[in-house]
Amino acid sequence: MSNDHNSGQTIQFELDGHQVEGRAGETIWQVAKRQGTEIPHLCYSPEPEYRPDGNCRACMVEIEGERVLAASCKRTPSVGMKVKSASQRAVAAQKMVMELLVADQPARETSHDPDSKFWHWAEKTGVTESRFPATERWHADTSHPAMRVNLDACIQCGLCVRACREVQVNDVIGMAYRSHGSKIVFDFDDPMGESTCVACGECVQACPTGALMPAVMLDDKQTRVTWPDRKVDSLCPYCGVGCQVTYEVKDEKVIYAEGRDGPANHNRLCVKGRFGFDYIHHPNRLTKPLVRLPGVKKDANDQVDPANPYTHFREASWEEALDLAAAGLKKIRDEKGAKALAGFGSAKGSNEEAYLFQKLVRTGFGSNNVDHCTRLCHASSVAALFEGLSSGAVSAPFSAAADAEVIWVIGANPTVNHPVAATFIKNAAKRGAKLYVMDPRRQSLSRHATQHLAFKPGSDVAMLNAMIHTIITEGLTDEQYIAGYTEGYDELKAKIQEFTPERMSPICGIPAETLREVARAYARAKSSIIFWGMGISQHVHGTDNARCLIALALITGQVGRPGTGLHPLRGQNNVQGASDAGLIPMFLPDYQPVGRDDMRGAFEKLWGQELDPVRGLTVVEIMNAIHAGEIHGMYVEGENPAMSDPDLQHARQALAKLDHLVVQDLFVTETAFHADVILPASAFAEKSGSFTNTDRRVQLAREVIKPPGDARQDLWIIQEIAKRMGLPWNYAGPGEVFTEMAQLMPSLKNITWERLVREGAVTYPVDDPDKPGNEIIFTTGFPTESGRGKIVPAKVIPPDELPDDEYPMVLSTGRVLEHWHTGSMTRRAQVLDQIEPEAVAFMTPKDMRKKGLAPGDFIRLETRRGAVEVKVRADRDVPENMVFMPFCYAEAAANLLTNPALDPFGKIPEFKFCAVRAEKIDIRTAAE
C-alpha cells in the first residue's frame, strides 16, 4: 500500500521484523539508517551522499522470496517487502565480503590508516583477519606533493572515481585494466603528480581504506602518524565561495583541513582550501611589531629579501609600535588635515574588522578616504548593479545552476578562481543544462560547454549588444516582465538598432549566426542564469559590460525565479562582506551614500560625531593623490597594493613617498616593506568573526588556534589605533561589533550574532528571525525608488591601450589555481608552492613558435610602464597575440606592466587589457 503523505509518497515494508516506512526515493540502507540500524557499507558514502554503486557488496541484505541477496545501498523497498539485514545469510555474506577484502589489505598494525572506515567495519563485523591468501602488493605512488596513492589498500570501491568524475567533475581518475590487474588510474595510468589532477582532494576525503591519503599525515612507509588533538569548524580563507571547513589541530598546529557540509560547498573543497592552510605556520610569520630603522630610506625599487625580510626594521613592544603608528597618523591629520590620510581595509578580514576599520577612517581620520580590493575586482559590476537594481549583491546563489536550463559563464574562469562553485556548474552541465562559456581564453570549463565563444579581448559590449539586438528584433523579449518590472526599455530598443550581429561580428570575432543562436538559447530557456567575473569588470568599459548583462536579464525576465539570475562571482573570501560593511569611499555601510544627509544622520547619531559628506578617494586615486602631495599618511590592514595595484612602479613610488605608513599583516609583504610601523596580525584560522560569501551568506568563522608569538587579533589592533586617535572604543569582541552593525545595516535585519553562532550561516535578506534567508531575490521587483529594474544601454568603447607596432600583443592578467591574489598566503603554503613554484607567463604554442620560444624559455615582457622577465609556458587556451600572466609572483610582478586607466563609473583599472611586447631573452640575462 502506498500513502500520499505530506512528505510525498511513502512505502510500508518490513525491516528485521518491524513495520517501517520508506520515503520517496529512499533505499533500504537509508531507511535502515533512519531506523537506527546500521548496515555495513564501504563503496557507499551517505555523508556526503554519493551515487550508490553497489559494487562492494558489504551491505547485502536478504529479501524474503528472492533467490539472491540485494545490495541495500541501491535497492529501494517495495510495498510489503520483507527485508532482513541481520539474518544468518545476510551476515554471512557481509562477513565474507569483509574477509575477502581484508585478505588483500596490509595488516591493520601496518596499514596506512588503521582508523579508516574500512577497519571500522572490519572490527564491527568481527572480521579483521582472513583465511585467504594475500595477492600482489602495489608500490606506493608518492609523486604528488599533497596526496599518496597506496594501491595495496585499494578495494576498488570506486568512490574516488565518483568523487573525481561525478562530484568534482575533473575526470582524472578511472578504472583500468582487467581482472587481477584492474586498478584505479590517473589519466592514462600516469603517476598522480604528473597527471592532470587538480588536487581538490575529494578522492582522499572519500576513500574508505587509506589507499588515498593526505601526504602530510604519513611517514616514509606511508603509515599514518598524525592524529588530531582536536577539530574546529571554520571556513576557508581564500575565495568568495565560502567553503565550510573542519580544521584538525595537533600540538597547536593545523595539520589538515576537511570539507564539511556547508550550504555553499556540501563537503567539497579545492586545492587551496584543503592543502593551503599551513602558511600560518610559515617561519617568516611576523610575531613581533616592527619599526623602521632610523636612517633606512624608503626606495620604490628596493625589494623584500624573502630569506631576510626584516633587514630594514627592528623589533618593538606593542606599546611603542602602537604609539608610533597612531602618533604619525595623528600628526598628519592635525597638521595637514583629515584628507591627508587614507586607509585600505581588507577583504580577507571579517565583517567586524571591516566595519571597525571604515569607522576608524571616517571618525578617527575624519574623511571617507577608505577603500579595499573590491575596487580592483568588481567595482564596475557593483556600479552597474546599483545603478540598475539598487543592490550590489548577487540575485541568486551559484547553486542555482542546478535549476538552470541555460548557464552563461562570461569573463570568468571558475575552475581556477572559484573551483567549488565550478563543480556545481559542471554538475549542471552533466545533468543536461546548456553551458555557454564566453571568454577570449578557453578554460577547463569549456570542454563541458555547449559552446565556447572566444571573443576578441575587450569586445564584450559589441558581442552582448548583438545578442540584445537579436532578442529584441526576433521578439524574444518577455513583454509582460518588461512592462511590470523594468524601465528604460524603449531607449534600449532605439539605441540597440545599430548593433546588428552582422556589424558586431567583425568587432567581437564571433560569427553573426552564433551570436543569434546563443542569444536565442538564453532568451527562450525557461531559466537562464549568468555568472561573470573579472573579465567583465576589469575594463575601462567594465560598467558597460555589466549593464549589458543586466539588460539581458531584464528584457527576458531571467531573474527572480529558480535557475535564473545575475551572479558576479566575488573574488576574496569576504569581499562581499567588506563592501557591505562600508570599506568603500562613496558609501557608508550597506551602500548608504555618504552624501545623503538622511542616511549619514543615522550614523552620526550612533557614532556620536559629524561625518564628512564628500566621497573619498578610491585605491588608484589615493596613489595618485600621494604623488600629488595631497595624501601623506596611510594605514593598510591586510592589503598588498605594492603587488595588486596597476602600474606598480607608480604605486610603489607612492608608498615610498608617504611620510607615514602603518601596515598590519602576517608577513613583511611588498607593501609592509615600505612601512614605518608593521603590526603583526592574526591569520584567518586565528580569529572569530563573520564573513559573507559570494551568495550573500553570512557565515561564522571560529578561532582554531592562537596567533603565534606576540601577533594579535586584528580587531584588537584596529581598536588600539582608534583609541590612540582619540576614539573611546571598547568592543569586547566581534559579537558586540556585529550587534552595532546590525543596527545600521538593513541587510542584517533578523540576523543576530547569537543566530550566527547557533546556525553557522544565514543568507541575507531575512524576513523573520525564525525563517531562513532568501536565496533568490528580486522575485517581485527591485529595491529601486520606482520598484523597477533600470535598463541602461551601453556603447562600444575600445580598451584604453590598443596594440601597435611598438607593443603588438595584448597582456591579460589573472590567477592560477594554486595561488591566491598577490600570493602572500599561498606562496607560503608548502603544497601550493610546490605545485606552482615559479613565475610563469602563458602563450599559445603558435605565438611561441613564431618567436622561436620553447616552453621554459625566458621572455622579457615590456609595456609602457615597465618590464618583467619570466618563464614562458605553452597554453593552447590562450588566444593568438595574447600573453596571460598571473599577478601573484613578486619576482615577476605582472602589475608592473598593467594599465591604470580607470572605468569612469567603478574606478576599476583595466587589468585585462594592455599593449605589450614579448621578446625571447637569454636565460642568464634573466637570472642576473
Residues of the shown chain interacting with ligand SF4 in the complex, contacts defined by CB under 6 A: 236, 238-239, 241-243, 265, 269-270, 272-273, 418-420
Task: Quote the least distance from Cβ 853 to ligand SF4, whole Å.
Answer: 32
Which is closer to ligand SF4, CB of 419 or CB of 563? Answer: 419
Task: Quote the least distance from Cβ 699 to ligand SF4, whole Å.
Answer: 10
* Helices and strands of the chain, counted as H and E runs: 30, 40
Task: Quote the least distance from Cβ 276 to ligand SF4, whole Å.
Answer: 8
Which is closer to ligand SF4, CB of 269 or CB of 394? Answer: 269
Q: Select the residue whose beta carbon is closest to ligand SF4 and give its number.
A: 273
Alpha carbon 839 to chain centroid distance?
Answer: 22
Task: Quote the least distance from Cβ 421 to ligand SF4, whole Å.
Answer: 7
SS (HEC) of 361-374: HHHHHCCCCEECCH
> Across the chain, which distance is largest between two alpha carbons, in Å?
93
Task: Quote the least distance from Cβ 434 to ligand SF4, whole Å.
Answer: 24
CB 790 within 8 A of CB 801: no
Which is closer to ligand SF4, CB of 364 or CB of 419? Answer: 419
Which is closer to ligand SF4, CB of 199 or CB of 668? Answer: 199
CB 471 within 8 A of CB 773: no
Between the CA atoms of 47, 50, 56 and 61, what dihedral angle is there, to the nearest 10 degrees? 70
Residues 853, 856, 857, CA angle at the centre, nearest 5°? Answer: 45
Question: What distance, in Å, lies between the first and last C-alpha atoms of the chain?
Answer: 82
Which is closer to ligand SF4, CB of 660 or CB of 827? Answer: 827
Look at residue 60 and give its three-state secondary structure.
strand
Task: Quote the least distance from Cβ 244 to ligand SF4, whole Å.
Answer: 9
Which is closer to ligand SF4, CB of 405 or CB of 833? Answer: 833
Could you give the C-alpha distances from 435 to 461, 550, 560, 700, in angstroms and in order? 20, 19, 20, 33
Burial (0-12, 13-18, 19+ Cβ within 10 Å), 728? exposed
Task: Quote the least distance from Cβ 231 to ligand SF4, whole Å.
Answer: 17
Q: CB within 8 A of 220, min separation 6: which ones?
A: none
Task: Quote the least distance from Cβ 349 to ligand SF4, whole Å.
Answer: 16
CB 338 within 8 A of CB 329: no
Task: Quote the least distance from Cβ 761 to ligand SF4, whole Å.
Answer: 13
Which is closer to ligand SF4, CB of 551 or CB of 835? Answer: 835
Task: Quote the least distance from Cβ 197 to ligand SF4, whole Å.
Answer: 15
Tally Cβ neighbours within 10 Å of residue 737.
27
Between the CA atoms of 703, 823, 271 and 375, what dihedral angle is there, to the nearest 10 degrees? 80
Residue reference for cell 597506496 = 150
Partners of 530 in the beta sheet? 408, 566
Amino acid type, 184: I
Which is closer to ligand SF4, CB of 419 or CB of 734? Answer: 419
Question: Which triple of cell numbers denotes residue 812?
Answer: 591579460
Question: Which triple of cell numbers denotes residue 610?
Answer: 559629524
Task: Quote the least distance from Cβ 666 to ligand SF4, whole Å.
Answer: 17
Task: Quote the least distance from Cβ 32 to ligand SF4, whole Å.
Answer: 33
Which is closer to ligand SF4, CB of 272 or CB of 516? Answer: 272
Task: Quote the least distance from Cβ 819 to ligand SF4, whole Å.
Answer: 11
SS (HEC) of 68-87: CCEECCCCCCCCCCEEECCC
Which is closer to ligand SF4, CB of 237 or CB of 366? Answer: 237
Which is closer to ligand SF4, CB of 416 or CB of 467? Answer: 416
Task: Quote the least distance from Cβ 310 to ligand SF4, whole Å.
Answer: 30
Alpha carbon 635 to chain centroid distance?
Answer: 26
Which is closer to ligand SF4, CB of 236 or CB of 810? Answer: 236
Which is closer to ligand SF4, CB of 70 or CB of 269? Answer: 269
Which is closer to ligand SF4, CB of 378 or CB of 790? Answer: 378
Task: Quote the least distance from Cβ 424 to ligand SF4, whole Å.
Answer: 11
Which is closer to ligand SF4, CB of 238 or CB of 807? Answer: 238
Q: Which residues of 799-834 are buried (b: 16+ CB within 10 A; e: fewer)?
A: bbbebeeebebbbbbbbbbbbbbbbbbbbbbbbbbe
Q: Within 13 Å and on the Cβ side, how many CA atoms surround 782?
A: 29
Burial (0-12, 13-18, 19+ Cβ within 10 Å), 294? exposed
SS (HEC) of 117-168: HHHHHHHHHCCCCCCCCCCCCCCCECCCCCEEECHHHCCCCCHHHHHHHHHC
Q: What DSSP state is assigned to residue 360?
A: I
Which is closer to ligand SF4, CB of 460 or CB of 818? Answer: 818
Rounded Cα gap, residues 515 and 468, in angstroms: 10
Going through 825-926 in order, the beta strands assigned E by DSSP cover 840-843, 858-862, 867-874, 882-886, 899-902, 909-910, 914-921
Task: Quote the least distance from Cβ 859 to ligand SF4, whole Å.
Answer: 30
Which is closer to ligand SF4, CB of 231 or CB of 876? Answer: 231
Rounded Cα gap, residues 392 and 375, in angstroms: 13
* Among 579, 580, 555, CA closest to 566: 555
Contacts 24+ apart (CB under 8 A), 301-309: 301/652, 302/673, 303/670, 303/673, 303/890, 304/668, 304/669, 304/670, 304/673, 304/890, 309/284, 309/667, 309/668, 309/673
Rounded Cα gap, residues 72 and 58, in angstroms: 9
Task: Quote the least distance from Cβ 417 to ligand SF4, whole Å.
Answer: 8
Rounded Cα gap, residues 172 and 160, in angstroms: 10
Task: Quote the least distance from Cβ 236 to ligand SF4, whole Å.
Answer: 3
Give the phi and the psi of residue 637 in degrees, each rounded to 5: -110, 110
Which is closer to ligand SF4, CB of 243 or CB of 625? Answer: 243
